[in-house]
Amino acid sequence: MKIADTPSPKDVTLKWIQQVVIGENLCPFARPILDRLTLTVLTGLARDSFIDAVVSHVLGLLDHSANDRPTSILIMKDLGHDFEDYLDLADLANAVLDETGVADEIQIATFHPQYQFADSDADDPANWTNRSPLPMLHFLRTADVASAGLDYPDVELIPERNIQRFRVLGRATVQRLRETCFK
């Protein structure tokens, strides 16, 4: 494959959302807002640029209505490739929410190529429910998450349902699902 044929981080992420998140119904709320999803690619390694990008995502959500910009994803092309470093960045992003006084209004969901739940083995297919093609932070309005919970029966069971489904599919299958996003 030539470099020019390599899909962009946005293309890979969008394909992952379509094929894995929506295709495997990991998030029943993703399909209706897909056309209004904001994807931003952060390049570079500077911590200040990362903090600026987090603030920009937060302000972007708060400055727009939920109908115009329901959610936002920050794709980290050059940062956070090591999972432990990524977790430090996620903690930093949450600290930015606290420092800017919006921690009650915005929350962050975490996705990473090496995602591992604290109580799982590295090979557990359950980890693949949060294994994205690239490190990313998903910014969501807390009110929207709460509202979705009112409209969807047993919303709190979605993560466990996803974990069980991916365990049934098996590691090889769920790994292949994500790998197809790079083609």
95-144 per-position pLDDT tens digit: 999 999 999 999 999 999 999 999 899 999 999 999 999 999 999 999 88
Indicate the pLDDT class of residue 165, thresholds 50, 70 and 90. very high
> What's the confidence (pLDDT) of residue 138?
96
DSSP state of 129: G
Mean pLDDT of 150-174: 91
The CA-CA-CA angle for residues 171, 173, 178, to 5°, reads 95
DSSP state of 7: P
> Considering the chain, what is the average pLDDT of its residues?
92
Indicate the pLDDT class of residue 66, thresholds 50, 70 and 90. confident
pLDDT above 50 for 1: no
State the alpha helices, DSSP H only, in 23-157.
Answer: 47-62, 83-99, 142-151
DSSP state of 43: -
pLDDT above 80 for 94: yes
Mean pLDDT of 146-165: 86
Mean pLDDT of 154-169: 93
CB 140 within 8 A of CB 94: no
Work out the percent of the chain whose per-residue pLDDT is above 70: 97
pLDDT above 60 for 4: no
Indicate the pLDDT class of residue 183, thresholds 50, 70 and 90. confident
Phi, psi dihedrals of residue 137, rounded to the nearest 5°: -120, 130
- Reading the block at residue 38, the tokens are 């904001």
> What's the confidence (pLDDT) of residue 43?
92
38-42/106-111 β-pairing: unpaired
> What's the confidence (pLDDT) of residue 72?
94
